[in-house]
Chain A
Amino acid sequence: GQQLNQSPQSMFIQEGEDVSMNCTSSSIFNTWLWYKQDPGEGPVLLIALYKAGELTSNGRLTAQFGITRKDSFLNISASIPSDVGIYFCAGQKETSGSRLTFGEGTQLTVNP
């Protein structure tokens, strides 16, 4: 099946630091999505990207849709303790009935 390679698997940072994580794929996606999952909850959508090259921000979060449509990155600036959680990238194809393919997640720990 489809695979998204997400890296890094985990990150341990100090409060105030910037964070970057990315996803790559061997195939093209028409949409890239970034979700955050807090313990005991379902994933919550952070940013959606619909066009190759698109750069979108949501507060301290910035994400980009790669030009080749095979990758995306997510940056978090000036991290705070509540940024702790698991971040997932997901790709979607127009022909897939809105099905998503998920990366394996990046576990983020922020030390105060």
Chain B
Amino acid sequence: NAGVTQTPKFRILKIGQSMTLQCAQDMNHNYMYWYRQDPGMGLKLIYYSVGAGITDKGEVPNGYNVSRSTTEDFPLRLELAAPSQTSVYFCASSSQIGSNQPQHFGDGTRLSIL
């Protein structure tokens, strides 16, 4: 059972470089989310999507971009990496809208900006 798959698991970037964090889910979920988790902190929402072609900003969207061309994939793009973006990034998905549809999380991408 794959669930939510994130790649890569680890990455080190230099300041100013760009990269795309990949997220794919095989549960046919409409809702997908990107969070970041800083050391000793809870998760903060970066962007989310309620379906293919639709994305919205979360709590901390600055410095990131997303796209949702298919139901399965929700990549997160860093255009100009900054040290403040060093964090662990989690992708999640859930099915139709409603409070009884909990989110399922991937195992995270650990990103360091040096």
Residues of A within 8 A of B (CB): 1, 4, 6, 30-31, 33, 35, 40-45, 48, 50, 88, 92, 94, 97-100, 102-105
Contacts and interface: CB of A to CB of B under 8 A. Distances in A.
Interface in B84-114: 90, 92, 94, 97-108
Interface string B53-74: 0001011000000000000000
Interface string B39-51: 0111111001010
22 contacts: A31-B100, A40-B108, A41-B107, A42-B4, A42-B92, A42-B106, A43-B43, A45-B102, A45-B103, A50-B99, A88-B42, A92-B99, A97-B50, A97-B56, A97-B97, A98-B99, A98-B101, A99-B33, A102-B35, A102-B42, A102-B44, A103-B42
Nearest to B45: A99
The range of chain B's interface size is 20 to 34
Interface of B: 4, 31, 33, 35, 40-45, 48, 50, 56, 58-59, 90, 92, 94, 97-108
